[in-house]
Structure 1
Amino acid sequence: MKRRLIDPGLPPWPALYFDDETHRAFVTARLVDWRAVERGHATTKVLVAMMCVTVGYWAWIQVPPYEDVIVRLFLVFVLAAIVMAVLAPAMRVCCPMFLARTLFARRLSLLFTPEAIGYRSWLFDNGVRITRSFNGRSVQASFTMRADVEAQDVAALRHQDREKSRLHLNQARLLEVVVRGTASRLRNIGDSVNTRLRTLPVATLDARQGEKITVVLNAAVELTQGTVKPIDLSRSGFGLDLDGPTDAEV
């Protein structure tokens, strides 16, 4: 039966659903990345321009007609300027993030089973499936995040005096899954365990969202850990007496 897992060590968002019978976990969340905020800023500029036209029309109706049209136009301009001096800054502050969360946020869905980990995001046309075992050896997976290089490049092109407009770019992160698989054929003398690493992008998101979702996803990995046990490579043959009796002969 699938139920929401509540634990003091887990953040309240995003929700982690776990099935005790099938040992499956499911996580889904709507994420706001720096591209969504950029679209929110662009849409806000359009809304402010439309509001200017609307307020100008409203001011024209409110000002009574004068014989001199220039006087009426001047009064309309003053009234519209006063109203827009209040509305425009408020819209520029409130609208971008509101639009980013409601219109431009995108959904990330992940399914964890003892056999595989799968997820769907906007970075891939199709879903991604990561098998948790290969040739009898376990494949370990963990989620982490790093700075979004593309967002940093965009932030470098912004003017230094526009620090507020670069805040979402400086906090942009890339959520990744690190896949570790043992590689017993590539062992070096003195190394007990050798691993192969591969990193796959999962989604772009904000730093505050990334801190929370990383904890939840790594908890889902631990809950659905497969039953395939990794081969013990901790006992290296280097320095052992090959002529001595084995454990089976003692």
Structure 2
Amino acid sequence: MLFGITWDTSNGDLAFALSILPILLRGMVVTIQATIAGFAIAMVLGLIFAVLKSVPLKIVSWPTIVITEFFRDTPLLVQLFFLYYVLADYNIILPAFATGALALGVQYSAYMAEVYRAGIEAVAKGQREAAKALDLSASRTFTHIILPQAVPRVVPALGNYLVSIMKDVPVLSVVTVLEMLGVARIIGDQTFNYLVPLSMVGGLYLIMTLVASALVRFVDAKLPKRGLPFK
């Protein structure tokens, strides 16, 4: 029994699969929530890093480069343990789910920063020169000229990271986040039947990644290739 839900192990694999499906679906909801939260953090933080790395002042760009390289070159598990266990020694205690979402967001923000940077640099320099000729401020040039043209270019790459984040969510089980794979492992430990729950998790993950990929393709197809409109 888990979360008050019992499963049937006496009437074959089909009955067993049907009995554990509700609890696996609850774990899938946690997986989706962690994916969305981590992806949102990574998108925002990655854009901030990309902007700071492009600042001409080395006192701003160099520390940002060091930070992003550190995030990118250290394992997600190490970052997760640091946020959950080390910060607790300094009385900074975060909920397990928030810690997991933050760790995912921080890890992938370093990758997304490079994606944003590539998209920003792909915008023709003539766009910046035209904005300067029109006496637009640097902030207005970035938010209304550069960024709207860069975003459509990087959507496919960001979509790849969305799928990658989803597949990394099971790591959060080490800090007691009961996502889908963690639930399946507990069921296997209690019933000594790992084949059925793990096979179901594999199938559910396949469905989720296919849906996520289709959603990214839909968004990519709908975005105007010449840039997002700004009023």
Common fold: TM-score over 0.5: no
Decide which structure has greater strand share.
1
